[in-house]
Structure 1
């Protein structure tokens, strides 16, 4: 395979916006190039997701040029099987590339390994509509680890899987992912999707999640440093 399927990107994005209670992403001006999500986070007001970067580098160049001229801080997120080419295109547009390893990953949730949280941690599972939040609490009641998953049709998109620094290396991340997968399957989901940081990749890969594409992230407009 020489390009990432744009439909897979759309499916992930549909669930990601649901998981974060964001408005549905909208097409950018050049139809088919990408989708735009309003994030309203400091330093990340808008995020644009490229859909056809591998099959049509010109579509990526158009998106990068638009981000470079944006009035708000805008991230450009590019799932790709050609990260070197993508970095060259967004760099030529003057965007700042965030040099960190991110992967788009998928799995069959019906075969997800199950791990219970070790004592003395207690698990809490809360589901509201399509979104489930799993929290693991220590004996004092503080949240030691947590994660979210949103079910959209047969897909479930995991997001914000976090373990507090004081509670790491105790298998809590595995326990959170197990509970999220179980809840999603109970709601009819089969395929899991997520974007993983380098730390997340080390958690998800042993659980059977597969790398589908690298994810390159850049941002703009870049404000020149004042002298």
Structure 2
């Protein structure tokens, strides 16, 4: 299993409170136990090493709605490998990494905003509240030794383009460095890729997300 994929799987499971990943010959299975997200199968290979025969074999074992499949190749390629009953997210995702050579300076919230960070259950969370007290931005981090997974980065539409995403990311990257991580990992979207790349993150592999609808 690819080292970065395994790091993402381990941290994501901690971040989301999922069951411990079960290793498979082709990757791993993670139980979520939620309506619409019962289980997810994550293939361990990336790029050209993610083979059609393996994807078809894993997908062919799925019979229940709400099971997800994560494959580290472009959706335009993987979509042709999946049969009837699979919904393919048309937007590609990205597995991204950041080496933690130095910790960012301690972030400060823009004037009027309130920044708060706390840790519980092995997960560090940070949030920004708007001047009126409403939610503005958030994110969380799950360190798992030498790597730490950044997860669920969100900014309210009313508060975008104000640098809040950068504050959230710097807060989490600093927390990862302080907790001994050497590399940060995340699964990003096209909307977030520009922010992450501006902060030094690089794309390791494309990511296809597919859900079996029955």
What TM-score, normalized by structure 2, do the two folds share? 0.90
Task: Name the structure 1 match of 2:10.
Answer: 14
Q: Paired residue for 2:147?
A: 155
Find the counterpart in structure 2 of residue 64 from structure 1: 59
Pick aligned residue for 2:34 from 35, 41, 60:
41
> Partners in 1 of 2:130 and 2:171 — Cα distance?
17
Quote the offset at 1:100 in angstroms: 0.9
By percentage of residues, which structure has more strand? 2
Q: Which one of the candidate residues 117, 124, 137 is aligned to 1:132? A: 124
Q: The residue matched to 1:46 in structure 2 has which SS?
A: strand
1:95 is matched with which residue? 86
Partner of 1:166: 158
Look up the match of 1:52.
Answer: 45
Query: Secondary structure of the equivalent of 1:61?
Result: helix
- CA RMSD in angstroms, aligned pairs only: 2.0
Give the 3 Å change call, closer, same or farther, for CA 96–83 of structure 1 in structure 2.
closer
For each residue in 1:101-133, what CA deviation from the matched residue of structure 2 results, as whole angstroms up to 9, or x when unmatched?
Answer: 210000012346555321111210101253110
What is the match of residue 22 of structure 2?
Answer: 26
Deviation string for 1:34-82 (max 9, x for gaps)? 2111223332221111113643432211111112xx22321111113x6
Separation in 1 of the partners of 2:135 and 2:15? Answer: 19
Worse-superposed segment, 43-52 or 174-183: 43-52
What is the distance in 2 between the residues matched to 1:85 and 1:165?
A: 32
Task: Quote how far apart the aligned CAs of 1:24 are.
Answer: 0.9
Tell me what 1:225 maps to.
Answer: none
Using the alignment, how far apart are the partners of 1:96 and 1:143 within structure 2? 31
Could you tell me the TM-score, scaled by structure 1's length?
0.85
For the Cα contact (< 8 Å) 1:19–1:159, is it kept in 2? yes
Distance (whole Å) between structure 2 residues aligned to residue 110 and residue 144 of structure 1: 29
Specify every segment of 5 or more residues in structure 1 that has no aligned partner in the other structure, as ranges.
Answer: 223-227
Q: Deviation of residue 137 (structure 1)? A: 1.5
Where does the alignment leave 5 or more consecutive residues of structure 2 unmatched? none
Q: Secondary structure at the match of 1:116?
A: coil
1:13-42 per-residue CA deviation (whole Å, 9 max, x = no partner) reads 100010111111113xxx411211122333
Corresponding residue of 1:203: 195
Q: Secondary structure at the match of 2:45?
A: coil
